[in-house]
Amino acid sequence: MSAAKSSNRMTFFLLAMLFLLSSIPAVMIHARAWDEADNSSRFDFTNSSTAPRELEDQTQTAIKREYAAAWQNMEDALAQNRIDLVDKSFVGGERDQLLRQIDQQKKNGLSSKLDDRSHKVEFAFYSPEGTAIELHDTVELSQETMDGGKSVHSDNATQKYVVIFTLVGDKWKVRTLQEMQ
Amino acid sequence: MTKNFNTLFIILALACAAYAQITVPQQATAGESATLTASSGGTLYLIGPGTAIKRDVKSGEVTLSADDLAYAGRYTAIVNGNAQSLYVSPAKPQKLSFMARPSRVPVAQPNVISGAVFVLDHNDNLVTQPGAVKFELGVTGQAPVSQSVPTKDGIAYIRAASGKREGPAQFTASVGDIVVRRIVQQVASDPCNLRMKAQRSGNDIAVETEPVRDCSGNPVPDGTIVTFIETTNEHGKSTVDARVKHGIAKAMLPAQPGATLTVASGVVLGNEIRWGGQ
């Protein structure tokens, strides 16, 4: 009797473990989907026609995804002084610029917290041969400069950016992310 | 008394720090030094694109070096908690990033060549101030076709027709004395005015085109396919594909009295010959 009870308990325990294990991937997928949705929901893209070449749907989807990722990587890189995140989304002059900023932050014990609350993005240009795209973005963002663990300044701003994406291999990367007056 | 004096001194020092003023220049240019004024000494933080500087400064004028302001964008200068922002504009154009396509193109085709230029300063800032890019396209020995295109947010682009003469065309983009060249190989277009002649050669007919040229008179490249067609009521249609070699395509067809001989290349049809058995 006692052995049967113990066996039932063991079966119940194993079933419970099996259920928990099987639900982990689903929970992870759900969490990731939520993260992506949350990340891109701040971005309002205007579907205006690009010149001189019309933007393909696939390219448009890729740019939306990569632009949201670029902001996330930039924010994480500047907050944590991590140069490894820069290469994920940036290339050329913009990459050099971010690496220099992180290098200076590290030397001076600084870090920057950026919080991009909303983006109004417009596709402005798609090069005839299909390897470069220019976006115009108006960003609501807050910035905080930290010295060690101490905040030395914070402000909120509405900032316009001109953004150039370039095709590197099979991935779009940000070559220019320049603040406009 | 001394205690009160010390307290007053500390309060005054704190008040001075609280009212510390920082004045930034109205205009600044990327890669050029600038001066700001701090009403009291302390720690200066300068945060901006590619920049995160921390240094002790004395009251008065503080020089920011050309390297401090290398990149265009918004900078924030902070001294003793007092912050001011300044916008640093891109400098004058120093580099052109010129993308030209394709590298090989048939002659006399409309809008087949495209060029896009990003105008950059010496620190790779996009020069967003309005300007113009001059595009030129031409082969050696001919006057180039030239067009000036205004930039918009640092970009200018053009679509152009290929020239009438084959050969390596120089496609240039320039701003002031900054010139970037690309080579576009212009090749003969599709054959035009295709003509052939036929003569007996034993039991066959030897057919041969005149030199095959495009509509601009350029010889088509060797290897271009020319199709000779022989049609008779008795045997129907037979075709022979021949490649142009040294400007001419040749083939042998079976000699059949009453045959109609035609020649074609791509969508271009040439002359027709009625073979009477001669």
> Hey, is the C-beta of A127 within 8 angstroms of any chain B C-beta?
yes
Domain membership of residue B203 as a residue range:
191-275
Q: Residue A28 contacts by C-beta under 8 Å, 6 or more apart in sequence?
A: none
Closest by Cα among B221, B131, B75 to A145: B75
Q: Mean pLDDT across chain A, nearest whole number?
A: 86
> Hey, is the C-beta of A47 within 8 angstroms of any chain B C-beta?
no
Please compute Rg for chain A using Cα positions: 23
Q: Mean pLDDT across chain B, nearest whole number?
A: 90
Question: Which residues on A lie below 8 Å from B71 (Cβ)?
Answer: 97, 178
pLDDT at residue B144 greater than cutoff 70: yes
**Is B99 close to A127, i.e. CB distance below 8 A?**
yes
Last residue of some domain: B89, B112, B147?
A: B89
Query: Helices (DSSP H) in chain A: which residue ranges?
Result: 2-40, 57-80, 86-89, 92-108
Question: Which residues on A lie below 8 Å from B75 (Cβ)?
Answer: none
**Is B155 close to A125, i.e. CB distance below 8 A?**
yes
One domain for residues B196 and B177: no
Q: Distance from CA of residue B71 to its chain's centroid?
A: 24
Question: Which residues on A lie below 8 Å from B116 (Cβ)?
Answer: 127-129, 132
CB-nearest partner of A108 from B52, B114, B120: B52
**CATH number of the domain within which B44 lies:** 2.60.40.10
**So what's the pLDDT on residue B35?**
96
Last residue of some domain: B35, B55, B89?
A: B89
Domain locations in chain A as residue ranges = 1-41, 44-180
Does residue A39 or residue B164 have the better pLDDT? B164
One domain for residues B228 and B168: no
**So what's the pLDDT on residue A101?**
98
pLDDT at residue A75 greater than cutoff 70: yes
> Hey, is the C-beta of A160 within 8 angstroms of any chain B C-beta?
no
Strand ordering across the sheet containing B104-106: B104-106, B178-187, B167-175, B132-139, B145-150
Return the C-alpha torsion angle B108, B109, B110, B112, nearest 10.
-130
Question: Which residues on B lie below 8 Å from A114 (Cβ)?
Answer: none
pLDDT at residue B165 greater than cutoff 60: yes
- What does the pLDDT look like over A137-174, one tens digit per residue? 999 999 999 999 899 999 999 999 999 999 999 999 99
Return the C-alpha torsion angle B173, B175, B178, B183, nearest 10.
0
Residue A6: pLDDT band by 50, 70, 90 thresholds?
low
CB-nearest partner of B78 from A98, A109, A152: A152
Residue B7: pLDDT band by 50, 70, 90 thresholds?
low
Alpha-carbon gap: A45 to the closest alpha carbon of chain B (Å) = 19
pLDDT at residue B83 greater than cutoff 90: yes
CB-nearest partner of B53 from A98, A104, A180: A104
Q: How many domains, in total, are found in chain B?
A: 3
Chains A and B: how many Cβ contacts under 8 Å?
Answer: 108
Question: Could you say which DSSP state residue A90 is in?
Answer: B
**Is B114 close to A52, i.e. CB distance below 8 A?**
yes
**So what's the pLDDT on residue B276?**
81
* CATH architecture under which domain A44-180 falls: Roll (3.10)
User: What is the Cα–Cα distance from B174 to B95, expressed in whole angstroms?
Assistant: 10
**CATH number of the domain within which B121 lies:** 2.60.40.1930
Last residue of some domain: B89, B118, B138?
A: B89
